[in-house]
């Protein structure tokens, strides 16, 4: 049994360059490094935000999604694939896998690290046993 080219069809998929990068080049937005950890009844989110002042950070909630936006102190430039890009902002949205109590959330910013503590929403209830 021989194999010939007529039995195989290969397609090469080349995704657009923008899908390979997590940053939004068109909007000049960087995606910061982040970490999500769970501790009992709380979520702990950490974001690396170098070159940012505390007053230029905005944290918003939409349902169980948390969005962090921050303006850089100065424009950051980098070159990838022969294209030079300038960035002015960080922005990232993380959706948590459960209900959260955003009203009791707290945040601290220290040495370029934003730490957000978010309590989980506990929605259970007791029933009377007869």
Domains of the chain: residue spans and CATH: 29-119 (2.60.40.790)
Q: What is the pLDDT of residues 87-123, one digit of tens each?
A: 899 999 999 988 899 999 999 999 999 999 999 987 7
Q: Would you state the pLDDT for residue 69?
A: 96
Burial category of 95 from C-beta neighbours within 10 Å (exposed 0-12, middle 13-18, buried 19 and up): exposed
How far is 102 from 112, CA to CA, in rounded Å? 23
Q: How confident is the model at residue 24 (pLDDT cuts 50, 70, 90)?
A: low
Which tokens belong to 35? Answer: 């970490």
pTM above threshold 0.75: no
Q: Could you tell me the strand order of the sheet in which 106-110 lies? A: 34-39, 42-48, 113-119, 106-110
pLDDT higher than threshold 80 for residue 1: no
pLDDT higher than threshold 70 for residue 3: no
């Amino acid at each position: 049994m021989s194999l010939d080219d007529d039995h195989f069809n290969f397609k090469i998929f080349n995704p657009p360059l923008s899908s390979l990068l997590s940053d939004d080049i068109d909007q000049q937005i960087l995606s910061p490094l982040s970490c999500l950890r769970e501790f009992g009844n709380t979520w702990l989110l950490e974001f690396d935000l170098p070159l940012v002042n505390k007053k230029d950070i905005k944290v918003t909630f939409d349902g169980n999604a948390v969005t962090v936006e921050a303006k850089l102190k100065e424009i950051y430039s980098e070159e990838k694939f022969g294209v030079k890009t300038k960035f002015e902002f960080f922005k990232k949205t993380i959706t948590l896998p459960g209900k959260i109590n955003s009203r009791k959330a707290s945040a601290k910013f220290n040495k370029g690290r934003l730490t957000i503590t978010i309590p989980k929403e506990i929605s259970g209830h007791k029933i009377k046993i007869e």
